[in-house]
Amino acid sequence: MAEHLASIFGTEKDRVNCPFYFKIGACRHGDRCSRLHTKPSISPTLLLSNMYQRPDMITPGVDAQGQPIDPRKIQEHFEEFYEDLFEELSKYGEIESLNICDNLADHMVGNVYVQFREEEHAANALRNLTGRFYAGRPIIVDFSPVTDFREATCRQYEENTCNRGGYCNFMHLKRISRELRRQLFGRYRSRHSRSRSRSRSPHRHRSHEDRSHRSHRRHDDRDHHESHRRKHRSISPGHRRGRSRSPGARKNRSPVRDGSEERRARIEQWNREKEEREHADKANTREDNNRDDEYNEYSQNGSEYHGYQQ
């Protein structure tokens, strides 16, 4: 029983816990949801609810005065916010990912998800951000159960085929330019490369004799491996099974019929395994393509899912 409950936890079959809150960290029904929204006591991911205020918040592509906005201006506004937020959050620990929703639904609009490398870094950021303000608005921050953003994002949106627009129940994550990503996240890669180089630094201070001795030993090992590889290449599969290649021994070899039967059996087994893999791959592809539609239809059916009409 316990194994069954663990296997269905956070899925549509779970009648206790809300699958949308478990996968996305937000539910359109909020506190009125008939299923539990269990907030984690510790997590590497933080949710900053409704923090990003897009310039076309009221009507997409139009400002508050009703004037159309250049998409490039919207992207510049977003990247300035992204960089400002990244610089502030990086003070509390190393950031694995920083994702901002482009959805328009109330429970997801402007949501910011920051995932730190360590849970302690996330806890440090939570303590320091609680009670603070950004652009005159209070920062609402809490731990989030989301750890795998591949399961939370809308795949149709990534392929530019989502027909639900900003009101999709899965994350539509805004993208930043490659230059900005390299500028912000590149510092971690350079830091890790420097740490690896420091760990190898004692080898650079060894004497010339030590280095020459190690180089000769490496060359000897390489020559040994090359000769060993050439030796194995020259030996046929039949020889590796203990058969001699000499003409006299060829007469004493076992009948070809036995070897052919074994090969036929192995070929039949390989064909069966190949067909099973192809069927499994097709089934997984169909399941991935239908996942988003099933979740959205599941969430929008308020009468069956929550017991009331919204």
Residue 88 lies in a domain: yes
Residue 127 lies in a domain: yes
Q: What is the pLDDT of residue 306?
A: 43
pLDDT in tens, the chain (310 residues): 556 545 555 556 667 888 888 888 888 888 888 888 888 999 999 999 999 998 887 777 788 788 888 999 999 999 999 999 999 999 999 999 999 999 989 999 999 999 999 999 999 999 999 999 998 999 999 999 998 898 889 999 988 899 988 889 899 999 999 999 999 998 777 666 665 555 554 444 444 444 444 444 544 555 555 555 555 554 444 444 444 455 544 445 545 445 677 777 878 888 888 888 888 877 766 666 666 565 556 555 544 444 434 3
Q: What is the pLDDT of residue 186?
A: 87
Total tally of structural domains belonging to the chain: 1
Decide if 90 contacts 80 (C-beta within 8 A): no
Residue 227 lies in a domain: no
Q: Which two tokens stand for residue 43?
A: 């997590």
Q: What is the pLDDT of residue 310?
A: 37
Q: Which two tokens stand for residue 39?
A: 């907030």
Decide if 39 contacts 143 (C-beta within 8 A): yes
- 16-22: Cβ within 8 A, 24+ apart: 19/295, 19/298, 20/169, 20/295, 20/299, 21/145, 22/145
Q: What is the pLDDT of residue 23?
A: 85
Task: Kindly report whether the global pTM for this prediction surpasses the value 0.95.
Answer: no
Q: What is the pLDDT of residue 130?
A: 96
Decide if 11 contacts 35 (C-beta within 8 A): no
Domain that holds residue 93: 39-189
Residue 92 lies in a domain: yes
Residue 83 lies in a domain: yes
Residue 304 lies in a domain: no
d(CA 233, CA 216) in angstroms, rounded, equals 26
CA distances to 204, 205, 217, 221, 229 from 208, in Å: 10, 9, 14, 20, 31
- The CATH number given to whatever domain includes residue 168 is 3.30.70.330
CB-based burial, 221-256: b 16+ in 10 Å, e otherwise: eeeeeeeeeeeeeeeeeeeeeeeeeeeeeeeeeeee
d(CA 94, CA 104) in angstroms, rounded, equals 29
Residue 122 lies in a domain: yes
Residue 97 lies in a domain: yes
